[in-house]
Structures are given as C-alpha cells and as structure tokens.
Structure 1
Amino acid sequence: MIYRRKTYKIKPEKLNDFNQFFHRYLYPNQLNHGAKLIGRWVNEAEDEITAIWEYESKEQYEAIEQGIRGSELHEKAQQRRRELGNLYIESRQDFLTSTLNCDSKVK
C-alpha cells in the first residue's frame, strides 16, 4: 500500500466553499474511480486542509487519476472552480509508505 498526502493552504473564509466543492465533486469522483479516503482534516486556524488517500500501488493511483481527468464530473468540477474563483492558495502532495510492516527490527 501507498498513501497520498494532499495538503491545501486556504484562506479561512474559503473553508465552507472548499468543503462543499470537495464533497460535491472531488470526493465522489475519487470514489467512483476506486480511491479510498483514509481521512481529511482541517487545522485549528482553518487555513490548511490535509487528506490522506490509500492506493494499492503508484500504478493504481495513476490509473485512478487518468480516469478522473477523463470523467464528466471532472469537467463539471473545472467549470465550477472557474465560477468560484481560487479555492486555495497552494497545494502540495507527497506519497508515504507505512513503516509498520518494515522488515528491519526496532532496537
């Protein structure tokens, strides 16, 4: 398994708009293409949202992303984003692997 950590830096006043957009467009599209959301959180200052997604492999992630980008819901989401303006200031993502099933022993 691999995990994708996606973090968005937002303006606190955009939190509700961003959450509504996520739940209406992003989350259903991810689920429809096989992604699994582990969790999604906002920090105390409400200026950063972090989501953790689980995939069997990097190849599965890439296949899911390709499917999403070719979907009708993705097109609708892009149109809605243009209407809403900037929902976030910046985003970043990285991939994580678990250390719980690691072969090395803790000393």
Structure 2
Amino acid sequence: MNCASTKDEIRYTPEGFEVHLGQVVWSRKRYWSAVRGSLVKEKYGEYSGYEGCPQELTLRHARRDWSCADCGHKIYRDDMHGSTYYDHYCLDCITPTRPENWFEDKPQ
C-alpha cells in the first residue's frame, strides 16, 4: 500500500511542469554576487563582474502564512511552496529546471 501518493502531494507550475513535495526546484529570481579571478575569466571572458545565480529550494507545505520573496504573493498555511530556511517562493516563481547563471560587468 502506497500512502505517500496522495493527490495533494502533486502540483503543476504555470508552465505545466509537475512538481512533487520534497522535490528540489530553483527560484526564477537571481541572487547577485561579485566574482573575480581566473575561473571567471575562463567562464565569461572577463576577469571580474557580477554573477546572478538562482536559489536552490525544496518544495514543502507552509507551516504558517508567508509572502513570496520574489512577487510578494501570499502563501497560505499548508500551501505547497519552494523554500529555504529563510526565503519562501510561490509556485509561480519557481522552476523545476535550473536556470543558467547570468553575468554582468556592472552591479544590478
């Protein structure tokens, strides 16, 4: 008997991707940090700049009400959402495939 496959454990993102509770997903929002060095030169052709990376999240049920860290949408208690320890994202602001890192020579 498979008790874990309940209907409320599966959701669909606006793009139609199926996501499951406990799955690793990524934020659409990029977090920017200053980078420099020979590895940056090899990867981007510039010695220094700013790299924007998505945040790795885990799909969980909300233990209380939150606001989405990207769009501000309200995430209600028991809604499935992507989260880290301190950031919470609604299903509209996550993607199951890891987006590419972005590189800029000026800060965002």
Q: Normalising by structure 2, report the TM-score.
A: 0.24
Q: Which has the higher strand share?
A: 2
Q: Normalising by structure 1, report the TM-score.
A: 0.24
Larger RCO of the pair (alpha carbons < 8 Å, separation 6+): 1
Q: Which has the higher helix share?
A: 1
Larger radius of gyration: 2
